[in-house]
Chains A and B, each alone.
Chain A
Amino acid sequence: MTILGLQIVILCLVAAAVVLWALYFPYPSPLIRRWLPPRKRWPEAQIRTWLKQGGFQRAFLRHFYSDPERIAPPGNSMLAPADGLVTSAEKHGGVRYLVIALSFWDMHVQRSPVSGRVISVESYGDGFMDGEGREFAFLREKPCPVQKRLVIATDAGRVAVRLITSLAARRIETWVRAGEQIERGQRIGRILLGSTVVLELPAAASLLVRTGDRVWAGETAVAEGATSHE
């Protein structure tokens, strides 16, 4: 009976590890994440080979351009603007920057976190930056990676979304214009082969997610209680 109990415990542990793997895929299971550097969390070398050769596998491109419907949860909470992993939620100068890193396997259409009126759609940056920390280059007065910043005015204040490219990115499409009224969860743009979306929130907004959480554009509530900033 002791042997059977031991066998069941070991099988349960292995099964739990496999279930965690499946739940977090393509991101690494939390069991191994702490030992993997960020740039080793998916087979980036293969993507770089495709870039160098100028051709992507068709199956990958079909997957990459997918644009599934999303249903926004009820309420007034702010939604994630992109699919991906929350890699930072730091405050700088009265603004909280929620950084969402997209993997190549994430859906790349971005959605509005709130309902409101688009105040501006501006382009920044001049380089296709790569490497750790590129998300905050715009705060360090260093050359910024190519990005677009959408500012949305809501009844409760202003919220901004930055769509930031990486070395691999080709361009950013935005599908809304200044002055346009947009709905919570509405499609706002797409970063072609891009990798980072930053949601700028008032520091007073209370976050509903933490660093390391996985979020889905237009479906995951990430914060609530916004007030004006800028």
Chain B
Amino acid sequence: MSDFLWSSGHLGWGVFALAVFTGLWWLLGDLYWRLRSIRIGRFLVALAIGWVIGVGLILLGFHIGSR
């Protein structure tokens, strides 16, 4: 877990990937919301599900990579 937060003198790739993915996912969601006709409620649910899947994949990748 310590490698996840901090590793060899730099931020852990896990927490770094989480932060970058969260920011970019939010901005991408904003762009999609402006370009497509979509109900706000459905959009927010889809955004949250996508974020959870993305975080899950990052955690899974980190777990597999650190074994």
Interface residues of A (CB under 8 A from B): 1, 3-4, 7, 10-11, 14-15, 17-18, 21, 28-29, 32, 36, 40-43, 45-46, 49
Chain B residues positioned under 8 Å from A41 (CB to CB)? 34
| Complex CA–CA separation, A7 to B23 (angstroms) | 14
Judged by a CB distance under 8 angstroms, whether B11 is at the interface is yes
Q: How many A-B residue pairs have CB under 8 A?
A: 51
Interface locus among B25-33, B47-55, B59-67? B25-33
- Chain B interface size, under 10 / 10 to 19 / 20 to 34 / 35 or more: 20 to 34
| Residue pair A43, B30 in contact (C-beta under 8 Å) | no
> Least Cβ distance of B28 to chain A in Å?
10
- State the majority secondary structure of interface residues on A: helix
On whether A45 and B37 interact (CB within 8 A), knowing A14-B24, A21-B27, the answer reads yes
- State the majority secondary structure of interface residues on B: helix
Interface residues of B (CB under 8 A from A): 9-11, 16, 19-20, 23-24, 26-27, 30-31, 33-40
On whether A15 and B23 interact (CB within 8 A), knowing A1-B9, A21-B30, the answer reads yes
Query: Which of A17, A18, A43 is in CB contact (< 8 Å) with B40?
Result: A43
> Least Cβ distance of A58 to chain B in Å?
14
> Least Cβ distance of B15 to chain A in Å?
10
On whether A14 and B34 interact (CB within 8 A), knowing A4-B9, A7-B11, A43-B40, the answer reads no
